[in-house]
Structure 1
Amino acid sequence: MSVDELQAYGLEKMNDTEIRSFLSTQNTGVLGLPEEDAPYLLPLTYGYDGETRLYFTFLLGTSSRKRALSQAADTASFLVFKVDTMYNWESTLLRGSITEVSETEWDSLEEVLSETWRPELFDTVTLSGEVSVYEFEIDEQTGIKHQGLPPAFQTTDESQ
C-alpha cells in the first residue's frame, strides 16, 4: 500500500516544520551509502543545525569503508525513526550529499556536536583513534507518522 492509501488508517505525512522538530528531538539514525551490490548501512548518532544539515562524527580505522564510500557518494540517505508503540511512531527519510568537514571548522560546530549522544565506548576509543566529522546536507526530506489508534479501532459513543 502507498502512503496515500495508508492515510485512511491514520497515517499522516509530516510537513517541513514537523520534520525539523522531529530531527531536533532525536539523535540517532541510519546512514545509507551507495555501494555496488546493496546500500551500506551505518547506525549513527548525529547533531542537527535545526535547518538543513546533520553532522556525524566518524571513528575511523586504518582502512575505513565508511570514509571511502562517503567520499565516493554523490547522494546518501539518512533514516531517523522513533517507535513508542505500534500505534505511535514517526519516521523521516532524508536524501542529500555527505562531505568531510575540515578540522579547522570543527570549533564552529562545537554547539551542534556537543549535544550528540555517543556510546561511552566511542568516547574512550576516540582518544586513540582517528576521528572525522562529516556534514550531511539535506536536499530532500519526507516524513510520516502515526499517533493514535487507526480510525477502524476508534470507538464513538453515539448514545450521548
Structure 2
Amino acid sequence: MVNDLLEESNTASMSEQQMRTLLEEEGIGILALPTEGVPYVVPMSFGYDGESMLYFVYLLFGTESRKESLSDDVERGRFLVYRAESVYDWQSVSLTGRIAAVPDDEWDTLRDAMQNAWHPNIFASANPMRGVRGYRFRIESWTGIQQRDGA
C-alpha cells in the first residue's frame, strides 16, 4: 500500500550514488540517539568520507553535554539528511550506524571529511568552551527517497 502511494506521488527510491551525492553536498543533518524515554534529537554539522563514515565535531560548553554522554554510552544511532528545494523537488536519506569517539590517529581523516560541514557562527562567540571531541558514525544501512521536478 505504501509503495502504491509512493508511485502515485511521483516519489522514488534514491540510488546509492544519489545518496552519496546528497551526503557530499549537504553539511548538516539530524542526529537521533536512543534514550530510555524519547530519542535525543539534535541538528549536527557533519563530514562524509565518500564511503561509509560520517564525522561530527562536538564543541563542548559547560560541565556536561547530553550529546557527549549519550554518544559515549550508546552504540547505535540514526542520522537524517535532507534537502527540500520545493514541495515537488526534495531528497531525504536516513542512515543507521554505530557511533564512537574518533581515535587520536584518525583526526586527519576527520578534518578532511569535515570540509563540507556547515558550521553556525553561534559557537564562535559562546563561552566558556570546555573542549572539542570528534565522533564517527559508521554507516550500517541507508535508505533514500526523493521527488524531483520533472521526475
**TM-score, length-scaled by structure 1:** 0.85
- State the superposition RMSD in angstroms: 2.0
Conserved in 2, the CA contact under 8 Å of 1:55 and 1:133? yes
Instruction: Find the counterpart in structure 2 of residue 19 from structure 1.
Output: 19
Q: Is 121-130 or 4-13 further displaced after alignment?
A: 121-130
Q: Deviations over 1:15-66 (max 9, x none)?
A: 1111111111111100000011111001001000011100001112321111
Task: Give the percent of matched residue pairs that are identical in Structure 1 and Structure 2.
Answer: 36
Letter in 2 for 1:22: L
Name the amino acid aligned to 1:147: R
Aligned to 1:153: none
Instruction: Tell whether the 8 Å contact from 1:87 to 1:147 is kept in structure 2 after alignment.
Output: yes
Letter in 1 for 2:44: L
Once the two structures are TM-superposed, the CA of residue 104 in structure 1 deviates from its matched residue by: 4.0
**3-state SS of the aligned residue for 1:10?**
coil
The letter of the residue matching 2:78 is S
Q: Secondary structure at the match of 1:83?
A: strand
Q: Report the counterpart of residue 65 of structure 2 in structure 1.
A: 64
1:102 CA drift (Å): 2.3
Which residue in 2 is equivalent to 1:54? 54
- What is the correspondence of 1:89-104 to structure 2 with a 5 Å cutoff? 89-104=90-105
Partner residue, 1:115? 116
Q: Deviations over 1:79-135 (max 9, x none)?
A: 001111111100000000000012343133322123322012224448843110100
Contact 2:75–2:100 (CA under 8 A) maintained in structure 1: no
Q: Which amino acid aligns with 1:90?
A: Q
1:31 paired residue number: 31
In our comparison, the structure showing a higher alpha carbon Rg is 1
Which stretches in structure 1 are left out of the alignment for 5+ residues? 151-160
Q: Which residue of 1 aligns with 2:43?
A: 43
Structure 1 window deviating more from structure 2 (25-34 vs 112-121): it is 112-121
The amino acid across from 2:122 in the alignment is L
Q: Is the CA contact 1:3–1:11 (under 8 Å) kept in the aligned structure 2?
A: no
Give ranges in structure 2 of 5+ residues lacking alignment. none
Match of 2:6 in 1: 6
SS in 1 for 2:93: strand
Partners of 2:127 and 2:29 lie apart in 1 by 20
* C-alpha distance in structure 2 between counterparts of 1:4 and 1:137, whole Å: 32
Q: Note closer, same or farther for the CA distance 1:2–1:43 as it changes in structure 2 (3 Å cut).
A: same
1:77 alignment partner AA: R
Could you say if the C-alpha distance between residues 114 and 67 of structure 1 is closer, same or farther in structure 2, counting changes exceeding 3 Å?
Answer: same
Q: Which amino acid aligns with 1:111?
A: D
Which sits farther off after the overlay, 96-105 or 83-92? Answer: 96-105
Q: Distance in 1 between matches of 2:65 and 2:4?
A: 40
